[in-house]
Amino acid sequence: MKKTFSILLALVVLLSAASALAEGTLLVGMECGYAPYNWTQVEPSEFSVPIEGGAGYADGYDVQIARAIATALGKELVIAKIEWDGLIPAVDSGAIDAIIAGMSPTEERKATIDFTDAYYLVDMVAVVKKDGPFAAATSLADLAGAAITAQLSTTHYDVIDQIAGVNKLTAMETFPAMIVALTSGAIDGYIAERPGALADTLANPDLTFVGFEDGNGFQVALEDTQISIGLQKGSTLTPAINEALATLDQATRDQMMKDAITRQPLAQ
């Protein structure tokens, strides 16, 4: 009930802010806490964008994608910091123009909002302790008996069921919380996308991640490997954003992600 109230309150605030913004803005929602896709920093930089309401500055791969789109559309980019579970209600209600937050266009989500073409493709890995019993895993079968979790309301959590003999723990709300749990030994690992895992292990040298060869890893639908931009149903922005994304070739997108991984705060 408390979370529901906080989400509703946030939507009221965002709707008020959105109504005050000029037509020349693109209001984008993200967690600002999911490096390397997006994060919050105290000081501005040549890559960052101020967060609406004076909550610091946002940077990351999602922010750079958002900047490129806003430029292509001739709009000023405004970032709204919103909890994960509040993102879809925010865009559905019109409180924000778009979600650019490392979100996959699952069938469940597409029932509520629209999505653009993919702007990144990912694979899923398991983050574990570097000196732990699962660091040498090469297949899902090697994770049998492991206490595994993932972020709440994500595909990451759903695919844990594919690990035979796994001890599937309650989902957690944030990646920092999972890192603390893994470091303390409360869990044996968590599921993440490779870019996020790269960022987490770069910032936490005691951790590593294990990937899986074809046929030995998670079986997921194509939509679950795609990262797309969420928009309100029937949004007139969809074709224009797809055109903007089409101008960013794969090499450019890969370099943007590499740069974000290197630049994210805890990597410094």
Mean pLDDT of the chain: 90
Instruction: Tell me which fold the domain 2-121+227-267 belongs to.
Output: D-Maltodextrin-Binding Protein; domain 2 (3.40.190)
Residue ranges covered by each domain of the chain: 2-121+227-267, 124-210
Residue 153 confidence (pLDDT)? 87
Element (H, E) at 167: strand 167-168
Residue 55 confidence (pLDDT)? 86
Q: What is d(CA 210, CA 146) in angstroms, rounded to the nearest whole number?
A: 13
pLDDT band at 268 (very low <50, low <70, confident <90, very high): very low
Token pair listed for 172: 């957690």
Residue 14 confidence (pLDDT)? 57
Token pair listed for 5: 């109230």
pLDDT for 264 beyond 50: yes
Angle (nearest 5°) at CA 257 between 252 and 258: 95
Q: Is 20 exposed, middle or buried (0-12, 13-18, 19+ CB in 10 A)?
A: exposed
The architecture CATH gives domain 124-210: 3-Layer(aba) Sandwich (3.40)
Q: What is d(CA 260, CA 126) in angstroms, rounded to the nearest whole number?
A: 21
Residue 100 confidence (pLDDT)? 98
- Bigger pLDDT: 240 vs 35: 240
Could you report the per-residue pLDDT of 56-95, keeping only the tens digit for each?
999 999 999 999 999 999 999 999 999 999 999 999 999 9
pLDDT for 244 beyond 90: yes
pLDDT for 121 beyond 80: yes
Residue 22 confidence (pLDDT)? 61
Closest to 191 measured CA to CA, from 154, 139, 228, 141: 154
